[in-house]
Amino acid sequence: MVHLRVVTPSTQAERVHRLLCDTASAIDVVRLPAASEWPSGDVVMCDVAREDASVVIAELRELGIDRTGSIAMSPVDVISDHARLAVERAPGAPSDAVVWEELEERTSESVELSGVFAVYMVLAALIAAIGIILDSEVLIVGAMVVGPEFGPIAGFCVAAVQRKGDLARRSAIALAVGFPLAIGVTLLATLAFDAAGLIPASFATGSGGLARIISSPDAFAFLVAAFAGAAGMLSLSTAKSGALIGVLISVTTIPAAANIGIAAAHGDWQTFVGSVGQLAINLAAILLAGTLTLYLQRRLYDRRLARHRASRSAGCT
């Protein structure tokens, strides 16, 4: 369940209290008159089934509580027969529910172009570059897991569906700076490896098994990236982190960026173009599938909100 703590002006406290009481999937509704000093007003709390958390928050926002007071939310485990009944009254499964406010907050935090984001991009690309040079699948997989690029990609999907221009702008900036930075550092590192004699004499760009796959995009590359984009968005929206790890391992955005840098350092422009194509296909497919997945989830939520408003029943007096 989700615990909601609402600070509301006293003039609106009765409406907020009645709203929560009339929500069949909400329990433990508590009103504390004049309990908040800043912002001043009443405090109203409840525990609501995860499936209806965003529905209730949307109605609180319609009352203007997010402007005149505040709304706090946090996941909570409630041991009670009342809680079990509240969850049963909310159609659907709690594990499938999307708390839209939680999703926006999670993606907003992961799209910032920060020093840590840049370092992770560079480190992931360098690990991938060494994996390509040594033709090591283990290092390539490790680079995919380290890469932070899925955060801004997911942020762009959320921004497209939620029509959040600022989130879209920040996501685009993170991607537009992160990938060229990773490619540039990989290029310089490859030149340094060459100068130090660290690269095996047998290595040739595009000749290794992994490098050849990365620089030769095909229809399967698009399909895998599209499936990964859908799975990644589902894992973020339903808080299933285990599935997200699988998504990060399945797409070749970071390895493609690393291969671009290696090919440029060695002047292999055919491999360079193929790797650029791989990166572009992966990004486009993930963005398309992720946005479509989130759009369908949003449509289901809108229908749920409409049904909730139409069939709200009294939960307490």
Predicted local distance difference test score (pLDDT) of residue 286? 94
Query: Residue 137 above 50 pLDDT?
Result: yes
What span, in angstroms and rounded, lies between the C-alpha atoms of 84 and 262? 57
Query: Residue 81 above 90 pLDDT?
Result: yes
Query: Residue 317 above 60 pLDDT?
Result: no
CATH class of domain segment(s) 2-97: alpha beta
Query: Residue 300 above 70 pLDDT?
Result: yes
136-154 mean pLDDT: 91
What span, in angstroms and rounded, lies between the C-alpha atoms of 3 and 156? 28
How do the domains of the chain map onto residue ranges?
2-97, 103-302
Question: In degrees rounded to 5, what are phi and psi of residue 144?
Answer: -65, -40
Amino acid at 312: R
H runs (alpha helix) in the chain: 10-21, 53-62, 65-68, 81-89, 100-110, 115-134, 137-146, 150-162, 165-196, 209-214, 219-237, 241-250, 253-266, 269-311
Reference 308, options 29, 154, 79, 92; nearest CA is 92
Residues 6+ apart with CB under 8 A from 48: 1, 2, 4, 20, 23, 25, 26, 27, 56, 86
Query: Residue 249 above 80 pLDDT?
Result: no
Query: Residue 246 above 90 pLDDT?
Result: no
Query: In this predicted model, which residue has the larger pLDDT, 146 or 204?
Result: 146
Mean pLDDT for all residues in the chain: 90
What span, in angstroms and rounded, lies between the C-alpha atoms of 272 and 269? 5
19-30 mean pLDDT: 93
Amino acid at 194: D
CB 134 within 8 A of CB 83: no
Supply the DSSP symbol for 74: E
Radius of gyration of the chain (CA): 24
- Using pLDDT thresholds of 50, 70 and 90, give the confidence band for residue 240: low
What span, in angstroms and rounded, lies between the C-alpha atoms of 201 and 184? 23
Both tokens of residue 158? 């959320």
